[in-house]
A and B are shown apart, each in its own frame.
Chain A
Amino acid sequence: MSRLLEVDGISFAYGSRSVLDSVSFHAGAGEFLALIGMNGSGKSTLLDIVSGFRRPEAGSVVIGGRRQLEWKRREMAQQVSHLPQSIHADLPFTAEQLVGMGRYPHTDSWFESEEDHRHIRAAMERTSSWPHRHRPFQSLSGGERQRVLVAACLAQNAAVLLLDEPSTFLDIEQQLHCFSVLRDEALAGKLCIAATHDLNLALTYCTRLLVLANGVIAWDIRTAEAHENKEWLELFSRRLELGTTPSGAPWVWYQ
């Protein structure tokens, strides 16, 4: 049986600057992958390619056993949801209108149906953004905005969720909330891939770490086994140490 997502030999360059050089990984339903790596290591580019926004120069992306190029955009949108890194903050839409956009790929009807509204409400309640539904997006705080955007991805009800730094600009409580919502999604049978710089969030909530460096996946390790080999940490900084929390979970600190 094929895995939900198969990425094989993906290469991509911006002009003459090569960013990804034959990246491969497979992932299945129920996994929560942390995509980590230094600035400019190609995390966002890889998510752009998996979401279909960019075409790779070589390699293939197979989703649900079917090559990405064979999917229609609309069908892809029912399978893959992408939360990009930068969204303009001065959008004129209300929170509810933004979340409602997640339903567009599912229906042809001009306005959202009762069923769409149930999805919208459920997604907004899960991210505690339902009380802000009538507020303009631009009037929300950074954390409230991010929760609305995550809700928009949840409302899309796709099998694969791609999130580019979903916890940036969030306070610690919100970061934990965001990642626990994503972990719940994975437990419910979705595949979540989050690009992040926060190693401890990744170690705490994710099932697997994909470390991008020099255009390839330098390390692909299960979080449960992350403390067995500490070499992957050195890619980030020589000042990092890996230990365990009192509960036995891996934890990164710096000297």
Chain B
Amino acid sequence: MSAAPQLSFTARYSLVLSLAVFIAAALVLPWVGAGSISLTRVLRRQEPDYEILLQLRLSRTLLALIAGGALSLAGTLFQAMLRDALATPYTLGISTGASLGAVAVIALGWETLHGIPMTWIGALIGAFAVLVIVIGGAFRQRQISAFGLLLTGMAINSICAAFILILSGFAGISRSFSIARWLIGSIDATSYTSLAVLATVVTLVSAVILSQARNWNLLAVGERWAASRGVHVGSMLAQGYILGSILMAGSIALTGPIGFVELIVPHVVRSRVSSDHRILLPCAFLLGGTLLALCDTIGRIVIPPAELPAGAVLALIGGPYLVWIIRQRAPAEEI
């Protein structure tokens, strides 16, 4: 009976550690940056330190933590549903769809309409349009073929990327610059209102995803396997794709398309901590958020006063890692 306590010990240990790292990132990273901030001045609420910490650095650290967590969680979910370590909302075209939606809004100059953040709405519409097309394209015999999903996703990905180019071609210099800037993917200071909306959506959606952790375990093995162990495969997959797309689109609308975090984090946590989704999902969320916040901080301090976008820092770390994963991957066998 040694296995039982050992498992829950490892689980508790990694969860507590991930949570500690996440909280530490939230508390420490806002203090790091090009200009130093003095604690005493902040406590006395003196300008500009108080303003910089609260309005700029804290909000962007929180955005990085939430968006990074949401993206990693979505990546973990898609990898489980497609049983493919390289499947992400990116390879399915959902991210590019969200980008296209947001870019269309920027190209039209409608970033905010009556105080409503329209890039957000655009990203959501784009993500769901792609989701419907991709799933519709892969739907055969009342089943979704993972292979068809990935291929359709790649096709849609290219189509959306082409439309983004067309839109930025027609957008005029200043708008096309803000489109290009947006497409790099960066964490910027955000209003606490948008942060609160994102945090609420992400918390609710993540809670639903996490509550189904055992079903994701079963689906990660196979659909027949899951069906004969009590899972409604069709509705579970539909739920997963919709919830994952909400997480993706919600984050992307505020940060731009930040790649790799949803690919690397699930992979590292799965191989280093556990592939049991009851532990994998929360750890991926907490560590993904921490990683993105860390990348944002690095981007803030390497070439002051200029800033390297978090997406670029992550790509520099994530790109080589992706190549390494592909090289490590053994050819998939069936038994």
Contact = CB atoms under 8 A, between A and B. Distances in A.
Interface string B205-242: 00000000010011011111101111111000000000
B282 to A, nearest CB: 12
Interface stretch (A103-111, A181-189, A209-217, A233-241): A103-111
Given A97-B275, A111-B278, A89 B227 contact: no
Interface residues on B, range: 35 or more
A52 B3 contact: no
B270 interface: yes
Given A97-B275, A117-B4, A104 B228 contact: no
A60 interface: no
Contacts of B231: 73
Interface residues on A, range: 35 or more
A114 interface: yes
Interface string A82-117: 101011111111001110011011000011101001
A117 B1 contact: yes
A87 B3 contact: no
Q: Which of B228, B229, B232, B271 has the most CB of A within 10 A?
A: B228
A14 interface: yes
Contact of A93 (B11, B217, B224): B217
Given A88-B83, A112-B4, A74 B230 contact: yes
A133 interface: yes
Given A101-B218, A133-B3, A86 B334 contact: yes
Contact of B230 (A14, A84, A98, A104): A104
A178 interface: no
A255 to B, nearest CB: 32
Q: Which 9 residue pairs across A and B have the least CB separation, nearest first?
A: A82-B228, A92-B275, A77-B230, A84-B224, A74-B230, A105-B230, A89-B333, A53-B227, A51-B228
21 contacts: A15-B141, A51-B228, A52-B228, A73-B227, A73-B232, A76-B230, A80-B228, A87-B334, A91-B220, A93-B276, A96-B3, A97-B217, A101-B221, A104-B217, A104-B218, A105-B230, A111-B11, A111-B278, A133-B3, A156-B229, A162-B228
Interface of A: 14-15, 48, 51-53, 73-74, 76-78, 80-82, 84, 86-93, 96-98, 101-102, 104-105, 110-112, 114, 117, 121, 133-134, 138, 142, 145-146, 156, 162, 168-169
